[in-house]
């Protein structure tokens, strides 16, 4: 069974910047969705069992809310989250994926890996057809621009 989609990049930036870009709402809003999409709402409680709520907005104004829970958080190394649960470990109506984001030191920067595990092969195929590779690739390009450019003082 193949239920995984993934993306890996070597990014010329320290792990802590990448981790902060994933865990600070004001930074996540700047890169998370491929332009011209936006991310107007980001609420994060970054700890195991903490909830997340992210709204992605399309160019036509349609909104796609995403609620989830963090399963594992290792500062500057790993984030694991899922939409199988919403806040307070409430089961979701239709779980779709679990994300595993890792940041590892490597010559030349940080090895950034985004693995997305789906509940079924059909979910993986649907995510791929929705544009996983293009969308996550463009969002990662925006993440790279943020963490390698002029870093915001926060």
Quick: pLDDT tens for 108-147. 999 999 999 999 999 999 999 999 999 999 999 999 999 9
Task: Please tell me the total count of domains within the chain.
Answer: 1
Kindly state whether residue 68 falls inside one of the protein's structural domains. Answer: yes
Kindly state whether residue 120 falls inside one of the protein's structural domains. Answer: yes
Kindly state whether residue 153 falls inside one of the protein's structural domains. Answer: no
Give dist(CA 24, CA 10) in Å, integer.
22
Q: Which domain holds residue 40?
A: 4-148
Q: How confident is the model at residue 154 (pLDDT cuts 50, 70, 90)?
A: very low
pTM over the 0.85 mark: yes
- Tokens (6 digits) for 67: 């609620």
CATH of the domain at 90: 3.30.530.20
Kindly state whether residue 154 falls inside one of the protein's structural domains. Answer: no
On the CB side of 117, CA atoms within 13 Å amount to 9
Kindly state whether residue 33 falls inside one of the protein's structural domains. Answer: yes
């Amino acid at each position: 069974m193949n239920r995984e989609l993934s993306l890996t990049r070597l990014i010329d930036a320290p792990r802590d910047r990448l981790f902060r870009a994933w865990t600070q709402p004001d930074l996540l809003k700047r890169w998370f969705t491929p332009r011209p999409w936006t991310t107007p709402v980001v609420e994060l409680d970054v700890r195991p069992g903490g909830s997340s709520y992210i709204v992605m907005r399309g160019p036509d104004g349609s909104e796609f809310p995403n609620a989830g829970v963090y399963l594992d958080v290792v500062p500057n190394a790993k984030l694991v989250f899922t939409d199988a649960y919403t806040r307070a470990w409430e089961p979701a109506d239709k779980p779709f994926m679990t994300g595993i984001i890792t940041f590892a030191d490597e010559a030349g920067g940080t090895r950034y890996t985004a693995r997305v595990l789906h509940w079924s092969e059909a979910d993986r195929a649907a995510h791929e057809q929705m544009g996983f590779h293009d969308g996550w690739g463009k969002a990662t390009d925006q993440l790279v621009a943020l963490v390698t450019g002029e870093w915001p003082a926060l």
